[in-house]
Chain A
Amino acid sequence: MSPLFFDHLVIKTEIIELINKKPEPENQKGKALQLIDDIFYQGIVAHILEKLNPKHHDTFLNQVHERPYDPELISYLKEHIGPDIEDDIRKAANKIVKQILKDLSD
């Protein structure tokens, strides 16, 4: 399966290890992993839209739709949000990781 443009900013190791340790059937683990993948995608897009000037929203969303794998999307965000956007996305992703770990541990 192909990567998405922000995958390199998301560290899911802890989440995957936690799920792999669970005794539940593989299909349940798969469902959880898929939901987690969706959560990162939705959470990161929501975060970017908050940071990005609304006049660029259409262009950005269309680029995600047309070339979801493209590292140039990060360049676009650097240009229109700022050079620190990668760090910013990484921080947002880490926050999501913590929320997901909490959901998995409660």
Chain B
Amino acid sequence: MPENNLQNSIAKLEKRSASFRNKILKNPAAKKFFAKSTLLAYDLRQKSSRILAGAGLVGSLLAMPMPQTPSFPTEISEPVKSVLSNKQKILGNLQEIVPHQPAKITGDQALKVEKLISENTNIPVKVELEGQSLNHTIGYTGFEQHLKRYPGDTLAEHDEIQEAGMAPGLGAFGYFAKDSRDFSTKTYLQEKYYCVVQTLYLENWNTDYRQLKDWYAFRKMLVVNPVNGNAVVCVIGDAGPAEWTGKQFGASPETMQYLDLNKGPRKGLILMLFVDDPENKIPLGPVNY
């Protein structure tokens, strides 16, 4: 028997779970409903416990003989609590904390989100950093094209997802590297994992443009897909999208791919948080947690 036999089985079970989840979410009523509820049995059992505990019914219901063949909810559930992954903790709790539509999160809600994400990803995140905050903390992101990394850069030089094409103009913050000689692993990763935020709609953008542009350019952010928990550390590489698009953010093809938002409408709700990384120690790219 291979050493990682159960690991292989877990991968298959994850696929099966995703398949059922997708099946449910094809149902319009369920899709709407599960934006505010949970598809995790563990969460539902916890909720069930809370309700019953509130009503003083836990003991009586658990003691109640089942009318049919026996089931084993306790055997299934007991080990679950201790091994709940950080991603599952984020998924389970985010649903309770954040709205399911574009919004700016403030106050206690912001603190809860910061704590939940920071503790479970080990990446210190802030809704507001150094007095700056975006107009939206949660919003729809679109699938962006590649950006030119240095003068003379071509699509053929980009190693992945070339079918996304390359934006004809420059990003709002210019090239990532001043020329091809200056192009490095750092700038390669910055373009690979870039995001787009609506700096242009900040209240003081027009008056404090110079200062704000410097502050936001290539600022490190954490993008989280609240549906699957996938997260990517990226940099702000461009400003936009325009308000009329109905989207509040954008992300590079590679970022969207990791968030699993690169199919169908290539659009989805995400959390956009500042990474508090003054010593620049947190690497760009997908977060493994």
Contact = CB atoms under 8 A, between A and B. Distances in A.
A41 B46 CA distance: 14
A54 B74 contact: no
A60 to B, nearest CB: 9
Contacts of A61: 29-30, 33-34, 37
Interface stretch (B9-17, B97-105, B278-286): B9-17
Interface string A24-39: 1011111111111111
A62 B79 CA distance: 28
The 5 A-B pairs of least Cβ separation, nearest first, read A30-B79, A2-B48, A1-B77, A57-B29, A42-B20
B79 A29 contact: yes
Nearest to A1: B77
Interface residues of B, number: 58
A67 interface: yes
A12 B71 contact: yes
A13 B7 CA distance: 21
A62 B66 CA distance: 24
Mostly, the B contact residues are helix
Interface in A26-82: 26-43, 45-46, 49, 54, 57-58, 61-62, 64-69
Given A3-B71, A12-B75, A65-B37, 11 more contacts: A1-B80, A16-B72, A29-B6, A31-B10, A31-B85, A33-B76, A33-B79, A34-B80, A41-B44, A54-B27, A69-B51
Contacts, number: 183
A6 to B, nearest CB: 9
B219 to A, nearest CB: 36
B9 to A, nearest CB: 5
Contacts of B74: 1
Interface string B87-101: 010000000000000
Contacts of A99: 16
Given A8-B67, A65-B33, A39 B48 contact: no
A10 interface: yes
Contacts of A36: 13, 76
Contacts of A29: 6, 79
A2 B52 contact: yes
Given A35-B17, A103-B13, A27 B82 contact: yes
Given A61-B33, A103-B12, A37 B52 contact: no
13 contacts: A2-B58, A2-B62, A3-B73, A11-B69, A11-B70, A24-B6, A24-B7, A26-B83, A28-B6, A30-B79, A68-B47, A103-B9, A106-B12
A86 interface: yes
A22 interface: yes
